[in-house]
């Protein structure tokens, strides 16, 4: 997969390993990322396969760098991949893994975790919104410019924003539901009817 992420970035413009690494902390990082210790070996492998071509570039004030450009073969491989249908991706979410077992910790601790997580996603959302503002200022009303690169950039950014909003909304919803749940439990306890214990049937 990293192969295609790199090809996509090089398809716009030739870049060095260091510049690529920085791109993976730029807009593409919203849905794909890689460390430099993964990028450099991958570039070598891709060059051996003929997907990209590197050239040494001397610089005056900075160390020399090796700039990679996509080849005709690389572009073919990229387009072929784009046309292949994607399979449904498995979800891996640490926060959900924790939430699934929140019955093991104190309700207020669970709530604190949810609030903390909400703050983190709020910060990320703010970053995404700022990025969108920037993009719109650079490109004007995207639909009007007719630039397909800016268009699809905006479409993926729209997804990232929606995802963060969903997460924040879910945190709110979970906290609200938890408040109601706890209130009921306290009430039931006061009436001398203890809340139900672990129910095996709930898991599977």
Partner DNA sequence: CTGAAATATGACACTTTTGACCTATGGCAA
Partner DNA sequence: TTGCCATAGGTCAAAAGTGTCATATTTCAG
191 binds a second copy (CB under 8 A): no
How many residues touch DNA (CB under 7 A)? 30
One residue of 67, 124, 129, 132 binding a second copy per CB under 8 A:
124
Among DNA, a second copy, none, the one that 16 touches (CB under a kind-dependent 5 to 8 A) is: DNA
Q: Among 111, 129, 110, 132, which residue's Cα sits nearest to residue 121? A: 129
Among DNA, a second copy, none, the one that 102 touches (CB under a kind-dependent 5 to 8 A) is: a second copy
Closest contact distance (angstroms) between CB of 34 and DNA is 6
Q: Is the Cβ of residue 63 or residue 194 nearer to DNA in the bound state? A: 63
Using CB under 7 A as the binding rule, the residues of this chain from 35 to 64 that contact DNA are 35-38, 40-41, 43-44, 59-64
């Amino acid at each position: 997969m990293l192969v295609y992420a790199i090809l996509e970035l090089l398809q716009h413009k030739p870049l060095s390993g260091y510049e690529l690494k920085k791109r993976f902390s730029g807009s593409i990082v919203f849905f794909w990322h890689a460390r430099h210790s993964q990028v450099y070996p991958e570039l070598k492998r891709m060059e051996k396969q003929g997907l990209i071509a590197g050239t040494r570039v001397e610089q005056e004030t900075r160390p020399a760098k090796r700039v990679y450009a996509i080849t005709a073969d690389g572009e073919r491989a990229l387009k072929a991949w784009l046309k292949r249908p994607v399979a449904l991706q498995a979800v891996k979410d640490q926060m959900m893994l924790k939430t699934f077992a929140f019955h093991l910790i104190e309700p207020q601790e669970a709530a604190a975790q949810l609030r903390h997580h909400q703050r983190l996603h709020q910060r990320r959302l703010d970053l995404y919104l700022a990025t969108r503002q920037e993009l719109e200022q650079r490109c004007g009303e995207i639909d009007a410019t007719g630039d397909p690169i800016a268009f699809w950039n905006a479409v993926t950014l729209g997804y990232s924003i929606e995802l963060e909003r969903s997460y924040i909304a879910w945190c709110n919803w979970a906290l609200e539901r938890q408040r109601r749940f706890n209130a009921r439990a306290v009430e039931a306890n006061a009436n001398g009817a203890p809340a139900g214990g672990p129910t095996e049937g709930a898991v599977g």
